[in-house]
A = this chain, B = another copy of it.
Amino acid sequence: MTSTEKYDWSQTRLRVRYAETDQAGIVYHSNYLVWFEVGRVELCRDYGFNYRDLERQEDAIMSVTEARVKYRQPARYDDELIIHTRLAELRSRALKFLYEVRRLPDDALLAEGETAHIMITATGRVRSIPPRYAEMLRQALQESAQPEL
């Protein structure tokens, strides 16, 4: 059983772009943070909302306060990848997501990481997660909780 089978992670697929490689012949390491964001947005979609609407309709931005990546094996040009994302922590004004980047078809773990976020307004003031969205995220948290242990 791989770690991603233990929980209900959101999954989204992408293909490595030429622009994402560097002269070492592998993906430049900052791109994994961009992919994490793609995974995060798809998790939101899986739980019923569009992150775009959160920003537009509620004046609420999930500002990144911390990011961490462990690079296991390099991703390469044209690799097809799955970004696995789960919500690991949910508080009134903050959240934390976990990620795994896996390669198809062999499911090799290329990288894992986490990002922490605080909810702010467009002018940068800390605010609570809008209730309607907090509810949907609570659902995401429950389904990503480890079933036993």
- CB neighbors of B among A17-34 (8 A): 17-19, 21-26, 28-31, 33-34
Contact of A23 among B23, B65, B66 (CB under 8 A): B23
Are the C-beta atoms of A22 and B18 separated by less than 8 Å? yes
Whether, in the assembled complex, A69 has its beta carbon less than 8 Å from a beta carbon of chain B, the answer is yes
CB-CB nearest 8 A-B residue pairs:
A30-B33, A21-B23, A52-B78, A30-B30, A29-B64, A19-B34, A68-B68, A23-B25
Q: How far is the CB of A6 from chain B (nearest CB, A)?
A: 23
Residue pairs across A and B with Cβ atoms less than 8 A apart, 28 shown, are A17-B38, A18-B22, A18-B23, A18-B28, A18-B41, A19-B28, A19-B30, A19-B34, A21-B23, A22-B22, A23-B23, A23-B24, A23-B25, A23-B26, A23-B77, A24-B61, A24-B63, A24-B122, A25-B122, A30-B31, A30-B33, A41-B78, A52-B77, A52-B78, A63-B74, A64-B71, A67-B68, A74-B124
- CB interface residues, A 30-57, toward B, < 8 Å: 30-31, 33-34, 37-38, 41, 50-52, 55
> Cβ of A37 and Cβ of B66 under 8 Å apart?
no
A-to-B contact residues, CB < 8 Å: 17-19, 21-26, 28-31, 33-34, 37-38, 41, 50-52, 55, 61, 63-71, 74, 77-78, 122, 124
